[in-house]
Amino acid sequence: MARNRLKMNADKTQVIWFGTGQQLRKITVRDIELLSDHIPCSESVSNLGFHADSELTMSPHVDSVCRSGFFQLRQLRAVRSSFTPDCLKTLVHAFISSRLDYCNSLLFGVSGSQLKRLQSVQNAAARLISGTRKFDHVSPVLRDLHWLPVTSRITYKLAMLVHKCLNNNAPPYLMDVCRPIDSLPGRRRQLRSAATGQLFVPRTNTNIGRRSFSVCGPVTWNSLPAALRTAALSASAFGRALKKHLFDS
C-alpha cells in the first residue's frame, strides 16, 4: 500500500551519467526504472537553473547564459534612451551580471573558448552602458564600471568561499577540505608553505578532479599574495583587498 502511494513526475525527472568520454562510451544503460517509470538518460540536465552535461564541459550552461544575456541586451538597447545611466546600470546588473555570476565557481577549469563567450556578453553589457563602439578597447570600460572580467569573477567567488571556510562561515563539508598545511599531522610548522598560510592541495589525476572544490579552492587560495592569505581579515576587508588585487594583476 505504501509503495503504491509513492508517485513521481517522470516529465520533471532527469537522469544523467557523469564521466570522461572514454568512461561514458562504456555505459550501455540508457534508461533507469524508478517507481515503475522508465526515465531516459539525458546528455545534459538542469539543477536550480544550472545546466550540466555528461563530461562537465559546461557548454549547455554557457549556451543558456549567452542566449539569455544577448536577448536581454537587445531588449535593453531598444529602450536605452528612456533610462538614466544609473537606472541602466541597475537593469544590466539584474538581467546580465547576475546571470554571469550565478554558480560561476563551477566554471573553474572550463575551456578558454567557453570563458571567452561569457566575456563577450559582459563586454557587450559594458558597451551598452558606456556607449562605446563595438571595436573599442573594453578593458578601460570594465575598470571604470568596477567590473572584474569573467575569469577574475570566478577567482573572486572561490577565494571568498575559502575565506568563509577558514572563518567557520561555510557548510562543514566545505570547511573540511580547506586545511591549512600547518594543521596537518606530520607537517613541520617551519615549512615556508605553512608560514605563508597556504592550504593543502590533494593530488588528483583527472581534469574533473582538479575542478572539485577540494582542489580548486586551495589552488585559488594559494595563488593569492601572502598578505591576503589570512583568515584574520574580515569578509568585507578581504573582499576589497581581493578585488583590488584582481584588478591590478
The pLDDT of residue 243:
96
The pLDDT of residue 247:
94
The pLDDT of residue 5:
57
The pLDDT of residue 183:
81
Per-residue pLDDT of the chain (249 residues; tens, 9 = 90+): 445 555 667 778 889 999 888 889 999 988 888 777 888 889 899 988 899 999 999 999 999 999 999 999 999 999 999 999 999 999 999 999 999 999 999 999 999 999 999 999 999 999 999 999 888 899 999 999 999 999 999 999 999 999 999 999 999 999 999 999 988 876 555 555 556 789 999 999 888 899 999 999 999 999 999 999 988 899 999 999 999 999 998
Long-range CB contacts (< 8 A, 24+ apart) of 194-203?
A: 196/226, 196/229, 197/226, 197/229, 197/230, 198/222, 198/229, 199/162, 202/177
Check if the beta carbon of residue 34 is closer than 8 Å to that of residue 8. Answer: yes
Nearest residue to 123 (alpha-carbon basis) of 108, 105, 135, 109: 135
